[in-house]
A and B are shown apart, each in its own frame.
Chain A
Amino acid sequence: MDLVFVTAFGIVYAIATLVLLALGLAVIFGMMGVINLAQGEFLMLGAYTVLLATAHGLGVWAGIALAPLAVGLVGVLVERAIVRFLYGRMLDTMLATWGLSLALVGLVTLIFGPTTEGVATPLGFFTVGRYSLPYYDVLVVGVALAALAGTYGLFNFTRAGVVARATMQNAGMVAGLGVNPAWVYMGTFAYGSALAGLGGAVMAPLTGVVPTLGLAFIAKIFITVIVGGPVILLGTTTAGSVLGLVESLVSSASTPIYGQVAMLAFAIVLLRLLPQGISGFWRRGV
């Protein structure tokens, strides 16, 4: 019974991390159609925010709270300096953000060095029968749920969110109604960046902080969002669940590396069967 609970929690946790890490990309790619290959580096910057905050005596929680703001700001800069010139040229956006990704990894390595820095995991452990689990893992699941619910609420029940969705559907009409689409694009990109910052910050105590942190996740999160398909939030969650399940099952049976390989192979076969992604046949929505 305890083992069942621990295994089930492990699967829920794998799904939650996948969803949390992929959520920012789901907004930027799913809504705006911008493939941001620097998304992994946004995660990395979020993690470094936590590292800096703890180094300056602010504590992990302050770092996690600051990370979305800091990375959101980076998102604004990137959107203004690079991405806004490339809307509608998807492949060029991809190449430019890829260059940005390399440059960011290089710059952070120059500043902080290539070593992995640890951030102490806050909170303690609780026991289930003979097993003990960290409270922090429960917190990760909670943050993932909150971020998901917050994003769903934002795009469905607030004026800003509805305006953003309207802009993605018909920017000309929105402009005719007196909203400047450029601001909406900037805001949406910044929101997606901030989500990435949050994800990276929450993961920082678990993975350690290293300039190449983004590389470890970028493949996973892109696959999750692509398999998710056009209904971004529900699609990403469903894809995250299916792929997280495959990954954690194979990982626990062999090694995490094979877990990733199985996940990728599964995703490619899935895309052969459902080219539009899992949510390709659903009613469109957020």
Chain B
Amino acid sequence: MKAEPAVWAAGAVALGGLPLLLSAFQVVQLTVFMAFCLLALSLDLIWGVAGILSFGQAAFFGVGGYAYGVVGINSGSTALALAGAVLGAAALAALLAYFTFYGRVGAMYFAVITLTVTLILHQVMGSTADPRYAIGAARLGGYNGMTNIPSLALELPGRAPIVLEPVPLFYAVGGLLLLVLVLGRALVRSPFGRVLLAIREDEGRTELLGYDVRWRKLLTFAISGGIAGLAGGLFAGWGNFINPQVFSLSQSALVVIWVMVGGRGTLYGAVAGALVVQSLTNYLGAASVTYTTVLLGLALVVIVLILPGGLVPALGRLLSRLAPRPGRALEVPP
């Protein structure tokens, strides 16, 4: 994998050039897609790399968004708010991981528990419509959501904060995505990441080799939760708004679909999957949320039944099969 830094450099160049080629609207769209890429990446880290399927990434995304809103509204500093988003989500993930991984709850049960936590958060946040449900100046707002969340701003000491315009915001989110991607790849290839891959392949055997899998899983899940929280914070800062819909089942399913489409375990696949699926759903038009839900559900069924390895890897295999093989071209008729 000597070529990887070249891939990162190409990504950075593409990020730098894109706002020049796209319309202002597309830049704004792509900014939020990149926040979703971070969310997909967070699931791939825990599922694709460490082999632990979590249905709760949407929960950490939502908690990150709400934390960003609460801290941002109360302190006025978006840097603090973003830190709050990451730490809040990571703390929830770590707490959940402590009870499940140290309780040695099975993989299935873990997936179901993360799903239930998401569903319960949906209901709890939905029931906060009453004005007395407020943290400081930030009203939670029930199903109507939290409004007036501050936009991301550049904060330099001794100067007034500068609210980021769409293009600088694009660079900020894109830069964070690239940074997390590079760090994530470095984590996967570090000795710690190797142990994670071993846990994915055979947890029992990894333990017998003397590795304590519990704290490794806990740490990985907390990192993954933190990344999802970061994505949620960026999302809330992007739209100045968050509501309990982020905890809905379809949102949780979407994260899984992104990673399944892109293929698991590479981190790049997750990012590509999120971009492809989001662009497609955008292209198909937001004609009706209901149709989209039906299509998403059917897509999930079909992918699991027909392409369990992921859509992008399957397309890659197909392309490499269509490409001429070097050995064949040399056949010379006698």
Chain B residues lying within 8 Å of A104, measured Cβ to Cβ, are 297
Contact check: which of A94, A102, A110 meets B296 at CB < 8 Å?
Answer: A102
Number of A residues with CB within 8 Å of any CB on chain B: 42
- Min distance, Cβ A239 to any Cβ of chain B, angstroms: 13
Out of B105, B109, B297, which one reaches A101, CB within 8 Å? B297
- Compute how far the CA of A183 lies from the CA of B113 in the bound complex, rounded to whole angstroms: 31
User: If A98-B253, A98-B300 touch, does A264 touch B294 (CB 8 Å cutoff)?
Assistant: no
Q: Inter-chain contact count A-B, CB under 8 Å?
A: 122
B103, closest chain A residue (CB): A272
A103 to B253, CA, bound (A): 11
A96: nearest chain-B partner, CB-CB = B304
Q: Considering the chains assembled together, what is the distance between the CA atoms of A90 and B51 in angstroms?
A: 13
Chain B: number of interface residues, binned into ranges:
35 or more
Does chain A have a CB within 8 A of B250?
Answer: yes
Q: For chain B residues 140-160, which have a beta carbon within 8 Å of chain A?
A: none
Indicate whether A107 reaches chain B with its CB closer than 8 angstroms: yes
In-complex Cβ contact of B99 among A106, A215, A218, A268 (8 A): A268
Cβ-defined contact, A271 with B294, below 8 A: no
Please measure, in the bound complex, the distance between the C-alpha atom of A101 and the C-alpha atom of B301, giving whole angstroms. Answer: 10
- Given contact pairs A96-B304, A268-B100, A275-B105, a sample of 5 additional A-B residue pairs in the complex whose CB atoms are under 8 Å apart: A95-B256, A98-B300, A99-B304, A107-B294, A223-B112
Contact of A91 (CB < 8 Å), options: B53, B250, B301: B53
> Least Cβ distance of A21 to chain B in Å?
14
For chain B, residues 103 to 130, give those with C-beta under 8 angstroms from any C-beta of chain A: 103-105, 107-109, 111-113, 115-117, 119-120, 123-124, 127
Q: Judge if A35 is at the interface, Cβ distance under 8 Å.
A: yes
Cβ–Cβ contact B298 & A99, under 8 A? yes
Residue A77, interface by CB 8 Å: no
Please name the 7 residue pairs, one residue from A and one from B, whose CB atoms are nearest each other, closest first: A99-B300, A103-B297, A102-B297, A106-B294, A106-B293, A272-B103, A99-B301
Residue of B116, B124, B256, B290 contacting most chain A CB atoms (<10 Å): B116
Chain A residues whose CB sits within 8 angstroms of the CB of B109 once the complex forms? 226, 271
Check B103 against A271 for contact (C-beta < 8 Å).
yes
* Chain A, Cβ-Cβ closest to B119: A219
Contact with B along A83-103 (1 / 0, CB 8 A): 001100111101110111111
Mask: chain B, 282-310; 1 = CB below 8 Å from A; 0 = not: 00000000110110111111101100100
A102 touches B108 (CB 8 A): no
Instruction: Report yes or no: B108 in contact with A35, Cβ–Cβ below 8 A.
Output: yes
A107: chain B residues at CB < 8 Å are: 294
User: A260 and B111 in contact (CB under 8 A), knowing A99-B304, A102-B253, A215-B249?
Assistant: no
**B260 at interface by CB-CB < 8 Å:** yes
A273 on interface, CB distance cutoff 8 Å: yes
CA distance A86 to B294 in the complex (A): 21
B270 to chain A, nearest CB (A): 15
Central interface residue in B102, B119, B296, B298, by most chain A CB within 10 Å:
B119
